[in-house]
Amino acid sequence: MAEPIRVVVTGAAGQIAYSLLYQIASGAVFGPNQPVYLHLLDIAPMMGVLEGVVMELADCALPLLAGVLPTAKPEEAFKDVVAAFLVGAMPRKEGMERKDLLAANVRIFKEQGQALDKVARKDVKVLVVGNPANTNALICSKYAPSIPKENFTAMTRLDQNRAQSQLAAKIGVPVQNVKNVIIWGNHSSTQFPDASNAVVNVGGAEKPVPAAINDDAYLKSAFVTTVQKRGAAVIAARKMSSALSAAKAASDHMRDWFLGSGDRWVSMGVVSDGSYGTPRDVVFSFPVTTANGKWKIVQGLTISDFARQMLDNTGKELSEEKQEALDVCKD
Ligand code: NAD
Ligand code: LMR
């Protein structure tokens, strides 16, 4: 058995963490032979609730769980961690856009960036889940200048999973038969779920998703808006934001980053290098492949006029969010 690795989850007393912690501690993220020492960060008033979560983790009797550290101190929580799931932030309510959370949440990511900068390993892999996830990840990275920018990512894997699931249902195949659907841009209602390069395995033969569906209007409208608005639809139904599926997506994202994505493309919000004419220095979701703990943007894809418009639109929103976040952080 390997030596335990230290992994932090923030917002550890909240609803996403309630599903995520089991997945991490059961081996679904770092593999079946990798013990984990869990650091659980939440705010001081939640320490009582967190104690209950710690009890439940113990009661799961998980062989890979080497220890648990519940704390309200970021510098204790981030010490020596190799992976950070930054979940802790306010969720939106019905009728809000995710960017409406910016002023309330971005300060959390400034403070946590500063703490990571001070005490975390320089190779820590950071996944920001708390909304607005892309801009929070950017701010976190800005306040942690000693950690490479490549180590800060935002979660759009939930959107990817939603998109893949919609396409599989439409074609009538199991979800794993669909691959290479892309989420471009912001984890917001301007995101661009793009099936133009996706492929599907139908009866043992691979074919392009657009050919299998043969309905361009669906792929440009109903498919796109269903994925863009899925978070809001879950909130309208549950009166709370997605948690089970968000935790699963966070596990998928970190697992692929650590263990590799194989020949599949996955979508991750990463600091943009300007690929595909996107604004530089915003956290933009791209198709990536991952290997040896590193991600690489898939290059050379054709961008149609429709896609160009969608990429520009979501890029513009990210540039505006960035400016607003920088203004908030000045205070
Ligand atoms: P929740 O309210 O159930 O839990 C959030 C937890 O974070 C609470 O326990 C709260 O006390 C804690 N918290 C607040 N400030 C903190 C701080 N400074 N440090 C540490 N912990 C802090 O919310 P949730 O449903 O778990 O959602 C968490 C966030 O994830 C929200 O912002 C939500 O919008 C976002 N989210 C993102 C995605 C995505 O795809 N990127 C998906 C679902 C939810
Ligand atoms: C989601 O996509 O479900 C989350 O970002 C929560 C939300 O506010 O939509």
Q: Any idea what the CATH number is for the domain that residue 44 is in? A: 3.40.50.720
Report if residue 14 sits inside a domain. yes
Same domain, 172 and 315: yes
Q: Which pLDDT does position 1 carry in this prediction?
A: 79
Same domain, 123 and 183: no
Same domain, 279 and 181: yes
Same domain, 148 and 179: no
- Determine the Cα–Cα distance for residues 157 and 270; give it in Å rounded to an integer: 12
Same domain, 165 and 305: yes
Please say whether the beta carbons of 296 and 288 come within 8 A.
Answer: yes
Closest by CA to 321, choosing from 174, 165, 65, 132, is 132
Provide the pLDDT confidence category of residue 138 given band limits of 50, 70 and 90: very high
The DSSP symbol for 98 reads: G
Report if residue 331 sits inside a domain. no
Report if residue 64 sits inside a domain. yes
Letter string b/e over residues 43-80, b meaning 16 or more CB atoms within 10 A of that residue's CB: eeebeeebeebbeebeeeebebbbebebbeebeebbbe
Report if residue 328 sits inside a domain. no
CA 100, 280, 254, 81 torsion-angle sign: negative
Provide the pLDDT confidence category of residue 260 given band limits of 50, 70 and 90: very high
Map tokens 């199991």 to a residue. 174
The CATH number covering residue 196 comes to 3.90.110.10
Q: Is the CB of 15 under 6 A from ligand 1?
A: yes
Same domain, 11 and 131: yes
Report if residue 329 sits inside a domain. no
Return phi, psi of residue 205, to 5°: -110, 135
Same domain, 169 and 314: yes
Of 154, 181, 206, the one marking the end of a domain is 154
Map tokens 């929580």 to a residue. 77
pLDDT, one tens digit per residue, over 18-72 is: 999 999 999 999 999 999 999 999 999 999 999 999 999 999 999 999 999 999 9
Residue 230 labeled ligand binder? no
Q: Which residues constitute the domain of residue 39?
A: 5-154
Q: What are the Cα distances from residue 217, in Å, to 19, 158, 222, 306?
A: 37, 24, 8, 12
Residue of 1 and 220 predicted with greater confidence: 220
Provide DSSP, 214-233.
Answer: --HHHHHTHHHHHHHTHHHH
Report if residue 15 sits inside a domain. yes
Same domain, 81 and 97: yes
Q: Kindly provide the ipTM of the predicted complex, given to two decimals.
A: 0.99
Same domain, 304 and 165: yes
Q: Is the CB of 234 under 6 A from ligand 2?
A: yes
In angstroms, what is the span from residue 164 Cα to ligand 2's centroid?
A: 17
> Which of 20, 127, 131, 227 should be mutated for ligand 2, with most atoms under 8 A from CB?
131
Same domain, 145 and 171: no
Encoded tokens for 68: 């648990």
Q: Which residues pair with 291 in a beta bridge?
A: 294
Report if residue 297 sits inside a domain. yes
Q: What are the Cα distances from residue 9, in Å, to 16, 48, 106, 211, 246?
A: 10, 17, 17, 42, 14
Assess whether pLDDT exceeds 90 at residue 99: no
Same domain, 308 and 162: yes
Provide the pLDDT confidence category of residue 331 given band limits of 50, 70 and 90: confident
Q: Catalytic amino acids?
A: 187
- Determine the Cα–Cα distance for residues 108 and 102; give it in Å rounded to an integer: 10
Report if residue 125 sits inside a domain. yes
> Which of 23, 43, 86, 227 should be mutated for ligand 1, with most atoms under 8 A from CB?
43
Return phi, psi of residue 210, to 5°: -60, -35
Q: Is the CB of 158 under 6 A from ligand 1?
A: yes
- Taking CA atoms only, the protein residue closest to ligand 2 atom 2 is 231
Of 131, 154, 177, the one marking the end of a domain is 154
pLDDT, one tens digit per residue, over 159-195 is: 999 999 999 999 999 999 999 999 999 999 999 999 9
- Determine the Cα–Cα distance for residues 280 and 128; give it in Å rounded to an integer: 19
Same domain, 263 and 226: yes
The number of distinct structural domains making up the chain is 2
Assess whether pLDDT exceeds 80 at residue 90: yes
Q: What are the Cα distances from residue 304, in Å, to 83, 268, 307, 310?
A: 37, 21, 5, 10
Of 105, 132, 154, the one marking the end of a domain is 154
Q: Is the CB of 13 under 6 A from ligand 1?
A: yes
The stretch 1-22 carries a mean pLDDT of: 97
